[in-house]
Amino acid sequence: MPSSWGLGDGQQIPWEYAPAPESREIVQLKSRYGLFVGGKELAPRSGQWFTTIDPATEEPLAEVARASVEDVDHAVGVARRAFRREWGKLPGRERAKYLFRIARILQERSREFAVLESLDGGKPIRESRDVDVPLAAAHFWYYAGWADKLEYAFPARDPKPLGVAAQVIPWNFPLLMLAWKIAPALAAGNTVVLKPASSTPLSALFFADVCRQADLPPGVVNIITGPGEIGLALVKHPDVDKVAFTGSTAVGKQIGRAIAGMNKALTLELGGKAANIILDDAPIDQAIEGVINGIFFNQGEVCCAGSRLLVQESIAEPFIERLKDRLSTLRVGDPLDKNTDVGAINNAAQLAKIEELVEAGQAEGADMYQPACELPARGFFVRPTLFTNVSQSNRIAQEEIFGPVLSVITFRTPAEAIEKANNTPYGLSAGVWTEKGSRILSMASKLRAGVVWANTFNRFDPTSPFGGYKESGFGREGGLQGLLAYLDLGEGH
Ligand code: NDP
């Protein structure tokens, strides 16, 4: 893929990178994957299967079971029995051993999981290798440490597991979202039934194998695959005590309505439209990298992506020029190539949504910039896109695009930046770039966002709680707060 080094004065030295593909041999795919219930792989009672594809080539990868409502019922029953008979009674130090084992196995099999995650999801191998898989393992390490210390985590309380947790996860971080959900649930003593997204079921099904390898008692973790209606049947099941969902705001609202009055604990982690705010005294080189990482990490398919760039008017022009230069160096293409920065969009519907919003941006009068990179002939790819001259009311400034599309808005004063940043139905994350600590603190306290990054963006850590305000959902994952979502603290809580 051609690129170039700028020498200033418009001079460029052409620069070719040789392909550096990661071998996919390390992943041994079967032709079919059943449901994982009670420690066994089961054929679906529906007798139906669906195909999961590689979004970079549109080639089929494997067939996956389409669960029926009877399968959901069976899986919840199995999880309930495992909770009542074994896991719910097991001392924390014993639960911890299993979690430590899972963490270690994930690390041992990290290359396999990284390749699998890129194959099924389209994300660059550099990211699945350096971010998704290590962070997933880190969540198991972290929560393993808490499993035998719950009384210290919540002193003077009587922490008890809730029971059976139904967990529905999206396609943008399949393994990582699984870890965010399963690790705290198990550490707290719950059993789980998890439904991955239909376009990325494979890492959850490989995780089933990790559970077997770790000798996790059968029924503690159950994985069912199938369409959204199966997710709905799972969360609505009367024997489910706790529901955890990550995905779109529309489905989050539907779940909230469906289980209202059913006495289930609920956490929702939904969409976002984060503002990444660049003040005039920001460290420019770092800020450019932070903006790039904020919106092009995982093709922008990130709920907390910095999709609105708010840049102070006095530095806007040179900043945007620098940003365009940097955009032109991004390599779009084969997710399994170690030099790729922007991989494939996860699925055809998502690609169509991105393309529709890019067209809407142009139609509404914003100025579009896309680097002249070549896109692969097959697969779901889109060019990194930057819109300037965007007004607050434009769809590209209001709606979650969930793609590599950045909308730039300018402001004159920090107060105006806050007002514009908060002018969204979402409230998941935000970023502030300035060299003054006092400005960081003052801005952060006024931003209505669950996470505010200062002079960085898209940083995740298992010890740090993550979650939103407003239409971005409620409840926190990560840290002690993430444990709390899976515990009953007894009287007075
Ligand atoms: P969804 O919210 O539809 O999917 C997320 C998960 O929920 C998947 O496992 C899905 O299953 C399941 N699901 C779908 N419908 C229901 C339902 N009625 N009840 C219970 N579970 C359900 O997201 P999409 O994949 O359709 O993406 C659409 C948009 O959502 C994106 O463009 C993006 O804006 C946003 N999104 C936000 C995410 C986030 O992290 N906050 C993640 C993904 C998307 P299945 O895959 O089988 O449909």
Given a cut of 60, is residue 166 above it in pLDDT?
Answer: yes
Nearest atom within ligand 1 for CA of residue 255: 19
pLDDT band at 12 (very low <50, low <70, confident <90, very high): low
Helix-helix angle 110-121:92-108, to 10 degrees: 70
Best mutation site among 248, 301, 354 for ligand 1 pocket (most ligand atoms within 8 Å of CB) = 248
Tokens representing 3 are 């690129």
What is the CB neighbour count within 10 angstroms for residue 197? 25
User: From the CA of 170, how far away is ligand 1's center (Å)?
Assistant: 5
Tell me the one-letter amino acid at 477: E
Segment 370-414, tens digit of pLDDT: 999 889 999 999 999 999 999 999 999 999 999 999 999 999 999
Ligand 1 pocket residue status of 400, Cβ below 6 Å? yes
Best mutation site among 251, 268, 270, 301 for ligand 1 pocket (most ligand atoms within 8 Å of CB) = 251
Phi first, then psi: what are they for 326, rounded to 5°? -65, -40
Ligand 1 pocket residue status of 402, Cβ below 6 Å? yes
User: From the CA of 231, how far away is ligand 1's center (Å)?
Assistant: 10
What is the CB neighbour count within 10 angstroms for residue 407? 28
Give burial (CB, 10 Å; 0-12/13-18/19+) of 11: exposed
The protein residue whose alpha carbon is closest to atom 19 in ligand 1 is: 232
In sequence order, the 6+-apart residues with CB closer than 8 A to the CB of 156 are none
What is the CB neighbour count within 10 angstroms for residue 24? 15
User: 131, 209 in Cβ contact below 8 A?
Assistant: no
pLDDT band at 8 (very low <50, low <70, confident <90, very high): low
Given a cut of 80, is residue 6 above it in pLDDT?
Answer: no
Tokens representing 118 are 């890129």
User: From the CA of 335, how far away is ligand 1's center (Å)?
Assistant: 22
Segment 273-298, tens digit of pLDDT: 999 999 999 999 999 999 999 999 99
Please identify every residue annotated as catalytic: 269, 303
Q: Please give the model's pTM, rounded to 2 decimal places.
A: 0.96
Segment 132-143, tens digit of pLDDT: 999 999 999 999
In sequence order, the 6+-apart residues with CB closer than 8 A to the CB of 462 are 135, 138, 139, 141, 142, 143, 183, 478, 479
pLDDT at 1: 44
Ligand 1 pocket residue status of 121, Cβ below 6 Å? no
Q: In angstroms, rounded to a whole number, what is the distance separating the alpha carbons of residues 401 and 310?
A: 17
User: 489, 159 in Cβ contact below 8 A?
Assistant: yes
The protein residue whose alpha carbon is closest to atom 11 in ligand 1 is: 228
Segment 219-253, tens digit of pLDDT: 999 999 999 999 999 999 999 999 999 999 999 99
User: 51, 118 in Cβ contact below 8 A?
Assistant: no
User: 66, 45 in Cβ contact below 8 A?
Assistant: no
Segment 60-81, tens digit of pLDDT: 999 999 999 999 999 999 999 9
